[in-house]
Structure 1
Amino acid sequence: MMPDYAKSLPNTMNHFVHPFTQLAAVEVSGPNVIMSGQGARVTDRDGRELLDGFAGLWCVNIGYGRSEVVEAARQQMSKLPYASSFFGSANEPALQLAKELVRLSPDSLQHVFFTLGGSDAVDSALKIIRYFFNVTGRPEKNHVIALERGYHGVSSAGAGLTGLSSCHRFFDLPLPYQHHIPSHYRYRSTYGGTDAEIISGSVAALEAKVAGLGGSSKVAAFFCEPVQGSGGVIVPPEGWLAAMRDACAKLDILFVVDEVITGFGRTGQLFACDWERIQPDLMTIAKGLTSGYSPMGAVLISEEIYRALVDQVPSDLAFAHGFTYTGHPVSASVALACLEIYQREQLPENSKTVGAYLLKGLEALREHPWIGDVRGKGLLAAVELVANRETREPFDPGLGVSQLVRKKAYENGLIVRAFADNVIGLAPPLIVSEDDVDQMLDRLARAIHAAKTELDGA
């Protein structure tokens, strides 16, 4: 017999556990159920059409309903729905995709290890780094450094590398070998107000952290996102990424770029590394790789690291890491179809031009007393809401301002992301037009106004 408390729950909540959700709240409200999608719009279970201002979860870059991607998946499922990549086996789509990713990515990256998504790509990168230094006789190089407010997934290891307290609390994280330095967060900078101060301050902080951990002989790698995503869409000053890459080279530590969010045109280049011609030692990717149509991620690896995995181990020792679905043929076929669309339709260029239009439109909303900061790059943008624009005083977290704005946006036909610290994020599909952006801006403005009216009345 069903217990009495369960009878009151929305029927979908009896069994489904939502990620990154205040579970008690959704037990009361029930979930927003999305039923279909076409282009940059989705329709929910109540028949409401919404502009998807967040591309699912930063991932549906090519938009919904792309028949050529569905057909690629159908054909591959009919021909070969699964093939193991263990024990030296492979399938043609995965081999072709690895070759194409190496062609498109920074020249330093020559090998590809496939995962199911971004979190296990980061986890795989951490394991590869540990393996690399162990087999090359440097086991003491095992500390890793990342940025506060950075996001590197939520695997058991990656969640500690993530620099968000909500991903640590009650999970016993970060792990002892994981460390953080302050973000390049310009609006609330701890380094100073100018770009030069932020860059020099970040380099100095990295150098100090390495020294504090015992020097370069103890530190393996530095991880960063070209634009911090879940930390609130925090864009570094121009030149920051190159300066940190140079600092890592001087410190003899690996430079790992997490392009899970920024890859595949999101910032206006195919990879955000391309803006400053960065050559990383490893790079993690996912999301836009398959545009969310099928799960897949990857770690791109330099020749030096790969050769150590091949040459510096006993001949009878396998590289004992991998997943059942590594190099899944259907996901690889989907990814190849997506890559063809990115290039044929020049979606990174559209992201750059329409993204500039979006940022200009968000700047025009600054007249609202709640908007303290506007920031973005390509079709990756955010507004930060504050209680006092002059002093940059944040809202009391208990007010739930960003969540209220997100709710009002949904009621006005727009999906946005509500981050901690009252930041509203926008990352629509890369196919959006300026007309789509105008509608997003109008609906966001109405949502902010409605939220303020409700709080003022309360």
Structure 2
Amino acid sequence: MLKYNDHATMNRWDNENFVHPWEGMEAIGHNERTFVEGGEGVYVVTEKGDRLIDGPGGMWCVQIGYGRDDMADAMADQARQMAYFSPFNNAHSTAARLAREIAARTPGDLNHVFFTTGGSTAVDSALRFIQFRNNLLGHPEKKIVISRHKAYHGSTYLAASVSGKERDRLWLDKAEGLAHFLPDVNPLHRDEGTSMEDFLDQKVQDLEQAILHLGAEKVAAFIAEPILASGGVIVPPPGYHKRCLEICRRHDVLYISDEVVTGFGRLGHWFASEEVFGITPDIITCAKGMTSGYVPMGGCIISDRLIDEVSGAAAQGATFSNGFTYSGHPVSAAAALKNIEIIESEGILDHVREVTPLFQERLHALSELDIVADTRGMGLMGCVECKMGDKTSLENDYQLGTIIDAHCQKNGLILRPIINMCVFSPPLIITKTQINQMFDILQDGVRAAMEAPAK
């Protein structure tokens, strides 16, 4: 076997054999990607030996950092003892304990955990459960899901169908008639002269008007990320989620809080729905930080009320025919349990709340640079959106992101540019010194883009 440091061979194999997520088909087979071959704490190490701060925390997920022997040991111990069980036929103590630990940290009566393989399948399972519930309750017409433009909920069929990122929907089929999308909730794009309070009223009215227009008897659920992560870390106006929940309750519409990104500490709490936004949804979806990215796992957490409506005497003999070979996988469950233990024993949630003010201060200070159109964020999530004068073409936006990304990587920071937006969700263990280093490098990268000759 060749070692990973035979980079020329690995790059060729990557291009010839590995189809990546969101693969640009024009460039397939001709990419020069950075190989990340090692990691420790908040740093990743490339095939060249470069040590880079991981600005996006993998993909919003590496909460406790890289290279944890205690996490690796917990996974290895479980794999040696029992590597797999069939969740269709049996139970397992590790998965049962994890479900209990999660239920102890969720708001209200969200106590039933359906384990999945990741965030997309968690959202798919939530939507299928809602369809199942309404069929069982005699409301087969109550199936429309209201979502939002710029929302991202996954890439499986149903999850993608309720995702509102325009370019992601161009070339792939979706479940027609399933989703209705509300206008963008980004305060940056409110009309000139519109106050935040008036903008909030407009966005809340968008939801109620949609329910009334579609018919409450046809609307099953409203799905919302507390913060729209992949849409560009869009933070809705204060009070938005609470008022939306009130509307949902008034019209018998279920509320799904998609906490795939915000769950497990990203905003300094186990879940953001209640602690940060003051809501107790009907369903919470989670993944990513659940295992800190060490192994795949997700979950769909359902309230007791919804389960009671379709179980016992009310079940009519029905089976919720949804599941995965790896639901509650024991190695993943062991990793999630160890992850929870580490976050608690090391006070990581408190740490997030302690360093958040500096993170947000350094983030928003970048707004002073000429090409920065907006800075926004909450907790250890942030976005710097750039715009070069009046050049608003997609090509120019991509050029901006590419220049900033290249400069930052050269100087010790890995980014995840989303066109002209630099998004951040570093490991939750990041120190104040590392936060300052991260934003110093980004600031220099933005300045390099300002000085680059226009194409």
Task: Classify the TM-score, shorter chain.
Answer: over 0.9
Counting only pairs closer than 5 Å after superposition, residues 203-214 of structure 1 correspond to structure 2 as 203-213=204-214
* Aligned-pair CA distance for 1:219: 0.5
The residue aligned with 1:248 is 248
Structure-1 separation of matches of 2:114 and 2:376: 33
CA offsets per residue over residues 130-172 of structure 1, 9 Å max, x none? Answer: 0001101111111110011111001111111111012211112
Structure-2 separation of matches of 1:318 and 1:252: 24
Change (3 A) 1:191 1:148: farther
The residue aligned with 1:222 is 222
1:356 pairs with 2:357? yes
Change (3 A) 1:193 1:267: farther
* Aligned-pair CA distance for 1:342: 1.5
Q: Quick check: 1:76–1:333 contact (8 Å CA) kept in 2?
A: yes
Q: Quick check: 1:106–1:277 contact (8 Å CA) kept in 2?
A: no
- The residue type paired with residue 425 of structure 1 is V
Structure-2 separation of matches of 1:331 and 1:309: 29
* Aligned-pair CA distance for 1:453: 2.4
Q: Quick check: 1:151–1:164 contact (8 Å CA) kept in 2?
A: yes
The residue aligned with 2:195 is 194
The residue aligned with 1:39 is 41
* Aligned-pair CA distance for 1:190: 5.6
Q: Quick check: 1:37–1:43 contact (8 Å CA) kept in 2?
A: yes
Structure-1 separation of matches of 2:387 and 2:256: 33
For residue 93 of structure 1, give the secondary structure of its aligned residue in structure 2: helix
The residue aligned with 1:130 is 131
The residue aligned with 1:112 is 113
Structure-2 separation of matches of 1:198 and 1:334: 42
* Aligned-pair CA distance for 1:26: 5.6
Counting only pairs closer than 5 Å after superposition, residues 27-426 of structure 1 correspond to structure 2 as 27-87=29-89, 89-173=90-174, 175-189=176-190, 193-213=194-214, 215-273=215-273, 274-311=275-312, 312-315=314-317, 317-388=318-389, 395-399=392-396, 400=398, 401-420=400-419, 422-426=420-424
Structure-2 separation of matches of 1:107 and 1:127: 22
Structure-2 separation of matches of 1:249 and 1:192: 32
Structure-2 separation of matches of 1:254 and 1:191: 33
Structure-1 separation of matches of 2:31 and 2:300: 38
Structure-1 separation of matches of 2:242 and 2:297: 28
Change (3 A) 1:203 1:90: same
Change (3 A) 1:394 1:207: farther
Structure-2 separation of matches of 1:371 and 1:14: 38
For residue 104 of structure 1, give the secondary structure of its aligned residue in structure 2: coil
Q: Quick check: 1:192–1:198 contact (8 Å CA) kept in 2?
A: no
* Aligned-pair CA distance for 1:12: 1.9
Change (3 A) 1:240 1:440: same
The alignment's C-alpha RMSD in Å is 1.7
Greater Cα offset, 188-197 or 288-297: 188-197
Change (3 A) 1:234 1:394: farther
Q: Quick check: 1:10–1:30 contact (8 Å CA) kept in 2?
A: no
Counterpart pick for 1:15 among 9, 14, 17: 17
Q: Quick check: 2:403–2:448 contact (8 Å CA) kept in 1?
A: no
* Aligned-pair CA distance for 1:291: 0.4
For residue 150 of structure 1, give the secondary structure of its aligned residue in structure 2: coil
* Aligned-pair CA distance for 1:23: 4.0
Greater Cα offset, 318-327 or 411-420: 411-420
- The residue type paired with residue 84 of structure 2 is Y
Structure-1 separation of matches of 2:192 and 2:262: 25
Change (3 A) 1:196 1:283: same
CA offsets per residue over residues 105-131 of structure 1, 9 Å max, x none? Answer: 111301100000000000001100000
TM-score between both structures, scaled by the size of structure 1:
0.93
The residue aligned with 2:427 is 429
Q: Quick check: 2:132–2:320 contact (8 Å CA) kept in 1?
A: no
- The residue type paired with residue 244 of structure 1 is C
Structure-1 separation of matches of 2:404 and 2:385: 12
* Aligned-pair CA distance for 1:352: 2.4
Change (3 A) 1:180 1:191: farther
Greater Cα offset, 167-176 or 254-263: 167-176
* Number of positions where the alignment pairs a residue of Structure 1 with one of Structure 2: 442
Structure-1 separation of matches of 2:91 and 2:201: 46
For residue 10 of structure 1, give the secondary structure of its aligned residue in structure 2: helix
Counting only pairs closer than 5 Å after superposition, residues 431-446 of structure 1 correspond to structure 2 as 431-446=429-444
Structure-2 separation of matches of 1:443 and 1:395: 25
For residue 300 of structure 2, give the secondary structure of its aligned residue in structure 1: strand
